[in-house]
Amino acid sequence: MTQRDPVPYGAKKAGAMREMSQSARLDFIAEGLTIILSSARSFWSAAEKLPDNPREASVLEGFAEEESAKALILLDLVRCPPSKIDGRIGRIVKNFYSHLARLIYAKAQSWRPVNVKQLQEYVDSERQGHYLEGGMSEYILPNWAIYSRESTLYADIEQHEDGIPQWSDPTRFSSVGIHMRPFAPTLIEALDALGIFSRAGLEATSDIWGTVDFLANEHSGHVRDLTGQLAKRLDAEGLVTETAANHARWFHHYWQMPMYNLDFTLIPASLDRLRADREAAYWSEVGYEHHGDY
What pLDDT shows up at residue 276? 82
Tell me which residues of the chain have a pLDDT lower than 70. 1-3, 173-179, 287-294
pLDDT of 179 reads: 66
pLDDT at 5: 80
Residue 4's pLDDT is 76
Does 13 fall in a domain?
no
160 in a structural domain = yes
CA atoms of 286 and 78, how far apart (whole Å): 52
Q: Give dist(CA 195, CA 153) in Å, integer.
A: 35
The answer to whether position 4 is within a domain reads: no
| Max Cα–Cα distance, the chain, nearest Å | 80
Which domain covers residue 236, as residue numbers? 20-294
pLDDT score of 260: 97
Report the Cα 269 to chain-centroid distance in Å.
Answer: 21
Nearest Cα to 88, choosing from 262, 272, 281, 240?
262
Predicted local distance difference test score (pLDDT) of residue 141: 84
Apex 104 CA angle, 185 and 35, nearest 5? 35
Number of compact structural domains in the chain: 1
Q: What is the pLDDT of residue 115?
A: 97
What is the DSSP code string of 141-167?
EE-HHHHHHHHHH--EEEE-TT--EEE
Residue 2 belongs to some domain of the structure? no
How far is it, in rounded angstroms, from Cα 77 to Cα 208? 13
Q: 84, 213 in Cβ contact below 8 A?
A: yes
pTM as predicted: 0.91
Query: 283 lies in a domain?
Result: yes
Domain presence at residue 153: yes
